[in-house]
């Protein structure tokens, strides 16, 4: 029998072994051919010398057992484990941990901006030179921006990340990168260059032509380079007034929404190398910034894929449009030769409408790049913006467009993929891939609603409903943990209210709204359930309480949240195109249900954290509001005052009624679906939970009909219309190929894709039964129309799988349970069974 530790991980980022805190938690994965293997002890070895012996069965997010790390520290860590059978593994391969945080008072860099910007939101270059007097043994760069940037040293970029440092609530929190640049620094003369632009910091936010700059008019950058010499001495090179800056270089203008103008004639050769003549560059201007940058929490945004042109289209009006076959987020890389000063125009859109580029959904966003040729061979790729598109219209290309000269570069926060689903139904498989692509396009530093129009905001309602799916498809632990820090900061500055969007940049967006602000109570518990992260739950608990207190105050003595603005069951398919909030379900019903839900979630979190008094308090408050909810909205015989799919789904899934009443409501919900011709009747609130409501009340066959429906409104309608991401509206495009007439239409919105979590947990039958998947539940729910389904998920303990196939009246189920976990097997017609790690196969009669 063989047992070995295959991987050692440091919380939280998965793109390297980075520690953003002095005491990082450790996770290790074990592979073994021993059935039902459990860890009884573990040993950790630091730098080949210090050994910590841990009498623990836990292997996920284990507390750091050594002295705290120092800033810029590097250490090697190894792990070996002892199984309950007494067998001891070999030591794992060593992993090098790099500390990315700074010590107290170590941040020395000034934020600097252009002294002479060319207009508002002016991109530019900053530079300095320094001498490394002796041989350098280590060079570590800390850098950040109010805006976005890239650093180069001696003519080479320091890394492959883009749009650094990402978007945070700048007035409260700014993150810095920490990059090993030892190989780029040489003894003698060196130069540091910074390219930068405004992006999120200088963009105008708002709707209907009323956008406004929320943060500032100009970007600023800050950097400090820590040098360690062979003799042990150190030096810090930091941004300050001695740096030089100019609104020069090929990037003429840059906007998140509108795109970039790049002039290849303005290339400054050698500007980031020693000896460059910068006498004409003004000195940098120092900006006072009160926020001390902190270490980056999540993986940065990177280029993750490239797509070639699938088809060159000549539109009815004679324009040239490139089709990349996939709605994506990123930009174009273009290689072209033409006359000096000639301008190529690239316009981006997600769809074609009657053969022409469909730009109306972009609203005020121009999503257009202008490329000015140098006269030689040029390679262009916008750097500080991105677009959501499948199609690109190319204007004024010199000669005939060569499709091989244009590549779509996909960008996303560089999370590791952890979830895969496959079934016998190709449309369902494509739906799942659409959800994956939608997440990739909307997880660009913050969880956004859409990536293409003049919005791209961190809408809390979207991530509230999608966070379980996000935690299945990708390792979004670090990403969501970082975002929650902004949530907490914004709440602290807004009386406990979690606003419509985080970062909060909208006028009026700081008001409470049910199902939106509830992200602050939902997401931390999702991270606990899916990743076993108790620390984030503990850290965010004050913000959870603050939100629940806001809601309970709104409910007041009457126990009902009434009369305030609400999004309600946003984008109910029956709402008029121009009025997406006019849903069938009473908004006060939706609001009050979420008061109960959030109060209960806080009570649950308090219980997990051992705060018994607070747990009892919030549970009692939830019961008080529940009593008022019943009196106002629940009628005799299990009917809701709003006789809608969403109302019943909430009552069932949020446990607002007893089991008997839930059964009656499930029957009524199934009737409503049938009355609608097996089409969906829910918006943002009801859609993520309707399949669970039906399955939980014994109507899985109705959930199956909803899933496989292709008429509008349904999940598969968009797929039949050629969608490659999830749409914002059920009918974002009408059957005749016309874009929905509503002012708000996106073809890349992940909220309705929250059904993917049900595909994993219920249809394929792979679900967590204890925090972090320490225990799994294997309980597939086959439906008519699908003959096999497989879900694979890389849990914190390793790969897990549940798959089933039906042939000849028999269902065969296969389960893969990772080492150091257990599973409950629940199959029709069989007694519930507990198993340990290993691979299992079962057969039962077709239960459909």
For 47-89, write each residue's pLDDT tens digit. 999 999 999 999 999 999 999 999 999 999 999 999 999 999 9
> Of all residues in the chain, what percent carry a pLDDT higher than 70?
100
Instruction: Report in angstroms the alpha-carbon separations of 662 from 84, 587, 619, 655.
Output: 43, 21, 20, 8
Q: Who contacts 189 (Cβ-Cβ below 8 Å, separation ≥6)? A: 129, 130, 131, 274, 275
Stretch 669-679: mean pLDDT: 98
Write out the residue limits of the CATH 2.60.120.260 domain(s) in the chain.
Answer: 111-295, 301-413
The dihedral formed by the CA atoms of 7, 767, 442 and 647, expressed in degrees to the nearest 10: -160
H/E stretch holding 622 reads helix 612-633
- What span, in angstroms and rounded, lies between the C-alpha atoms of 515 and 686? 11
pLDDT (mean) for 290-308: 98
**For 410-422, what is the mean pLDDT?**
98
76 Cβ contact partners less than 8 Å away, ≥ 6 residues apart = 46, 47, 48, 94, 95, 96, 97
Q: Please name which of 241, 340, 284 lies closest in space to residue 124, comparing C-alpha atoms.
A: 284
Rounded average pLDDT over 12-29: 94
- Confidence class for position 290, pLDDT limits 50, 70, 90: very high
State mean pLDDT over 369-397: 98
Average pLDDT over residues 685-712: 98
When pLDDT is cut at 50, 70 and 90, the band that residue 730 belongs to is very high
How far is 767 from 221, CA to CA, in rounded Å?
45
**Residue 44: pLDDT band with limits 50, 70, 90:** very high
Q: Which CATH class is domain 301-413?
A: mainly beta
pLDDT at residue number 13: 86
Q: How does 174-183 read in b/e, with b if 16+ C-beta sit within 10 Å? A: bbbbbbbbee
Q: Is the pLDDT of residue 217 over 70?
A: yes
- Can you give the pLDDT at residue 507? 92
Per-residue pLDDT at 12: 85
In terms of CATH architecture, what is 3-99? Sandwich (2.60)
pLDDT at residue 337 tops 90: yes
Record the tokens describing residue 329, joined without a space. 């987020």
Catalytic residue among 455, 529, 621, 801: 455
Rounded to an integer, what distance in angstroms lies between the CA atom of residue 171 and that of residue 162?
Answer: 22
C-alpha torsion sign, points 197, 198, 200, 205: negative
pLDDT in tens, 137-186: 999 999 999 999 999 999 999 999 999 999 999 999 999 999 999 999 99
pLDDT at 221 over 90: yes
* pLDDT band of 210, cuts 50, 70, 90: confident
CATH 2.40.110.10 fits 111-295, yes or no: no
Mean pLDDT of 329-339: 98
- Average pLDDT, rounded, for the chain: 97
**CA separation (Å) from 623 to 371, 636, 829?**
62, 19, 37
Average the pLDDT over 257-272 and give the result: 97
Give me the residue label for tokens 């203008």: 253
Active site residue 118: no
> For residue 649, is pLDDT > 80?
yes
pTM: 0.97
Active site residue 455: yes
For 5-17, the pLDDT digits (tens) are 999 999 988 888 9
Tokens of 315: 């539109």
Q: What is the mean pLDDT of residues 489-507?
A: 97
pLDDT tens digits, one per residue of 780-804: 999 999 999 999 999 999 999 999 9
d(CA 173, CA 486): 7
The pLDDT tens digits for 604-639 are 999 999 999 999 999 999 999 999 999 999 998 899
Which one of 177, 381, 728, 801 is the catalytic residue?
728
User: What integer pLDDT is reported at residue 14 of this predicted model?
Assistant: 84
Q: How confident is the model at residue 1 (pLDDT cuts 50, 70, 90)?
A: low
How confident is the model over 104-117, as a mean pLDDT?
A: 97
pLDDT of res. 208: 86
Tokens of 524: 């931390």
Structure tokens at 570: 């946003």
Q: How far apart are CA 226 and CA 244, in angstroms?
A: 20
pLDDT for 450 equals: 97
CATH code of domain 772-845: 2.60.420.10
Q: What is the pLDDT of residue 225?
A: 98
Rounded distance between C-alpha atoms, residue 492 and residue 701, angstroms: 46
**Average pLDDT score over residue span 541-548:** 98
pLDDT of residue 209: 86
With 80 as the cut, is the pLDDT of residue 729 above it?
Answer: yes
């Amino acid at each position: 029998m063989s047992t070995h530790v295959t991987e050692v991980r440091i919380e939280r980022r998965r793109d390297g072994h980075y520690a953003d805190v002095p005491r990082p938690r450790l996770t290790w994965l074990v592979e073994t051919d021993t059935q039902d293997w459990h860890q009884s002890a573990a040993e950790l070895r630091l730098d080949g010398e210090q050994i910590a012996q841990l009498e623990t069965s836990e292997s996920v997010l284990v507390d750091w057992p050594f002295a705290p790390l120092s800033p810029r520290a590097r250490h090697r860590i190894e792990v070996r484990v002892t199984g309950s059978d007494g067998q001891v593994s070999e030591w794992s391969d060593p992993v090098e941990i790099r500390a990315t945080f700074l010590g107290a008072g170590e941040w020395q860099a000034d934020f600097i901006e252009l002294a002479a910007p060319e207009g508002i939101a002016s991109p530019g270059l900053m530079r300095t030179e320094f001498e490394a007097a002796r041989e350098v043994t280590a060079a570590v760069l800390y850098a950040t921006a109010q805006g976005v940037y890239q650093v180069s040293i001696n003519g080479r970029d320091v890394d492959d990340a883009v749009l650094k440092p990402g978007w945070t609530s700048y007035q409260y929190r700014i993150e810095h990168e920490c990059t090993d640049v030892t190989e780029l620094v040489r003894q003698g003369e060196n130069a540091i260059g910074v390219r930068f632009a405004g992006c999120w910091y200088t963009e105008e936010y708002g709707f209907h032509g009323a956008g406004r700059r929320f943060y500032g008019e100009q970007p600023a950058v800050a950097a400090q380079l820590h040098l360690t010499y062979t003799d042990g001495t150190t030096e810090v090179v930091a941004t300050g007034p001695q740096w030089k800056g100019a609104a020069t270089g090929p990037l003429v203008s840059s906007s998140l929404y509108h795109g970039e103008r790049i002039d290849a004639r303005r290339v400054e050769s050698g500007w980031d190398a020693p000896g460059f003549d910068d006498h004409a560059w003004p000195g940098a201007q120092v900006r006072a910034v009160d926020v001390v940058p902190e270490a980056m929490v999540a993986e940065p945004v990177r280029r993750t894929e490239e797509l070639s042109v699938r088809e060159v289209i000549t539109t009815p009006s004679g324009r040239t449009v490139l089709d990349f076959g996939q709605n994506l987020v990123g930009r174009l890389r273009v290689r072209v030769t033409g006359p000096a000063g000639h301008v190529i125009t690239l316009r981006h859109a997600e769809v074609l409408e009657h053969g022409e580029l469909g730009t109306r959904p972009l609203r005020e966003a121009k999503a257009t790049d202008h490329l000015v040729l140098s006269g030689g061979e040029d390679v262009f790729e916008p750097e500080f913006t991105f677009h959501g598109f499948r199609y690109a219209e190319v204007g004024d290309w010199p000669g005939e467009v060569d499709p091989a000269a244009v590549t779509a570069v996909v960008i996303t926060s560089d999370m590791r993929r952890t979830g895969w689903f496959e079934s016998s139904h190709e449309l369902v498989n494509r739906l799942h891939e659409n959800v994956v692509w939608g997440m990739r396009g909307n997880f660009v530093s913050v969880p956004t609603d859409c990536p293409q129009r003049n919005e791209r905001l961190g809408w809390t309602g979207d991530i509230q409903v999608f966070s379980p799916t996000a935690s299945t498809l990708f390792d979004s632990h670090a990403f969501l943990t970082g975002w929650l820090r902004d949530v907490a900061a914004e709440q602290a500055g807004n009386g406990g209210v979690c606003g419509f969007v985080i970062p909060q940049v909208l006028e009026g967006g700081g008001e409470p709204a049910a199902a939106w602000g509830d992200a602050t109570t939902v997401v931390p518990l999702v991270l606990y359930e899916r990743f076993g992260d108790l620390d984030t739950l503990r850290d965010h608990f004050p913000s959870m309480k603050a939100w629940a207190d806001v809601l309970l105050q709104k409910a007041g003595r009457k126990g009902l949240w009434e009369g305030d603005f609400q999004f309600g069951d946003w984008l109910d398919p029956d709402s008029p195109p121009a009025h997406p909030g006019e849903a069938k379900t009473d908004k006060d019903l939706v609001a009050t249900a979420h008061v109960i839900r959030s109060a209960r979630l806080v009570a649950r979190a308090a219980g997990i954290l051992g705060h018994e008094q607070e747990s009892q308090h919030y549970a009692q408050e939830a019961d008080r509001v529940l009593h008022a909810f019943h009196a106002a909205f629940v009628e005799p015989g299990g009917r809701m005052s709003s006789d809608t799919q969403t109302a019943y789904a909430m009552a069932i899934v949020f446990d607002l009624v007893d089991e008997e009443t839930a059964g009656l409501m499930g029957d009524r919900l199934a009737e409503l679906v049938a009355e609608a011709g097996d089409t969906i009747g829910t918006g943002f609130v009801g859609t993520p939970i309707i399949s669970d409501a039906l399955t939980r009340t014994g109507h899985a066959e109705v959930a199956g009909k909803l899933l496989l429906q292709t008429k509008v409104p349904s999940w598969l309608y968009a797929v039949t219309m050629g969608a490659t991401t999830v749409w914002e509206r059920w009918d974002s495009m009408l059957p005749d190929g016309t874009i929905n007439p509503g002012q708000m239409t996106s073809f890349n919105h992940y909220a309705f894709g929250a059904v993917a979590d049900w595909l994993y947990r219920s249809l394929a039958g792979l679900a967590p039964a204890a925090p972090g998947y320490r225990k799994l539940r294997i309980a597939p729910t086959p439906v008519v129309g699908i003959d096999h389904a497989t879900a694979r998920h890389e849990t914190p303990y390793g790969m897990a799988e549940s798959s089933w196939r039906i042939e000849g009246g028999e269902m065969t189920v296969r389960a893969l349970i990772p080492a150091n976990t257990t599973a409950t097997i629940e199959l029709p017609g069989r007694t519930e069974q507990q198993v340990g790690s290993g691979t299992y196969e079962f057969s039962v009669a077709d239960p459909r």
